[in-house]
Amino acid sequence: MAVKLQTIKDIRNYIAGELLGLYSRRESLAIAGLVTEKIFRTGRMALMLRENEPLSGSSYQKRVMSYCRRLTTGEPVQYVLGETVFYNCRIRVNRNVLIPRPETEELADIVIKENRGTEAGIIDFGTGSGCLAVALAVSLPGAKVTAVDISKNAIKVAARNASLNNAEVEFMHADILSYVMLGLPVAGIFISNPPYVRESEKKLMRSNVLDFEPGKALFVPDNDPLRFYRAILNISVEKLNPGGLIYFEINEAMGDTMHDLLEKFGFSEIRIIKDINGKDRFAAGRKTT
């Protein structure tokens, strides 16, 4: 093998160098750090203390080359490693589910902080990897969490994540858009991060998202961008308790429109909340009747 990787530092620098054509130097180093932590099964600080120690054997080099072959195609590091961290939970991911975003972690944080000690039923619509449902079940142990998705493969991933994190979550296979939700319990909190990227916005997205992540979990038609929110609000008429709360992650361009939609369905205390980057990213409200 032509490449000689003799230390942890060599491995990290090699991976970062291989990725410079696809990512910025900062992103390349961040990805290299995640891969190195996975290879050595230890944290960043421990690796830094050992980064100049000589390595023995060639197994490390084989693993590095295997990871690099996939990463240099643009495949997201979370898929390559098979997992990520979301709100202190270990979340397994594959190409059947979206990779959890920092914005969705912000949504989890809002719901958890505003509902400490709740014993309400919580329904997560379009659960995907189950990251939201799992985080809520772990952080709000008094709540009864139900997670819904149209994809049986996604539910398999989500159920595995619930088990991995010792989270009690009930899973339900159903199509939100069908309005037929037999067996869905009445709840006190609805939460959802549904597809909300308009088809016309594809041109603004990076190829590693378009080429690898499931489009059905991302995109909505330009002529009906609120279809999933409207469907969930229709379900809320019967399945959300009076006084119940609803929380959505939304397209940054849809804040005013989402406010109007929540108002149309009779919600009060409506808030459009900005994310850490100052963009309209979340909508929340309370059912009045």
> Residue 283: beta bridge partners?
248, 272
Give me the percent of the chain exceeding a pLDDT of 90.
82
Say yes or no to pLDDT of 13 above 70.
Answer: yes
Both 95 and 213 in one domain: the answer is yes
**Does 78 reside within a domain?**
no
Both 150 and 217 in one domain: the answer is yes
pLDDT in tens, 92-133: 999 999 999 999 999 999 999 999 999 999 999 999 999 999
Both 229 and 142 in one domain: the answer is yes
The parent domain of residue 37 ranges over 8-73
Cα 221 to Cα 101, 200, 247, 282, distances in angstroms? 22, 8, 22, 20
Both 161 and 123 in one domain: the answer is yes
**Does 102 reside within a domain?**
yes
Q: What is the DSSP letter of 108?
A: H
Instruction: Summarize the confidence of residues 82-86 as an average pLDDT.
Output: 96
Cα 185 to Cα 135, 142, 172, 266, distances in angstroms? 20, 16, 11, 21
pLDDT in tens, 180-230: 777 899 999 999 999 999 999 998 888 888 899 999 999 999 999 999 999
The structural domain count of the chain equals: 2
Both 145 and 276 in one domain: the answer is yes
Both 201 and 271 in one domain: the answer is yes
Residue 137: CATH number of its domain: 3.40.50.150
**Does 84 reside within a domain?**
no
pLDDT in tens, 15-50: 999 999 899 999 999 999 999 999 888 888 888 888
Q: What is the pTM for the complete model shown?
A: 0.93
Question: Cα–Cα distance between 80 and 27 in angstroms, integer?
Answer: 15
**Does 2 reside within a domain?**
no
Give the Cβ contact number of residue 147 at 10 Å: 29
Both 136 and 229 in one domain: the answer is yes
pLDDT score recorded for residue 2: 60
Question: Cα–Cα distance between 21 and 263 in angstroms, integer?
Answer: 47
Tokens of 171: 């899973």
**Does 169 reside within a domain?**
yes
Cβ-based burial of 174 (10 A; exposed 0-12, middle 13-18, buried ≥19): middle
pLDDT in tens, 240-275: 999 999 999 999 999 999 999 999 999 999 999 999
**Does 3 reside within a domain?**
no
Both 243 and 146 in one domain: the answer is yes
**Does 1 reside within a domain?**
no
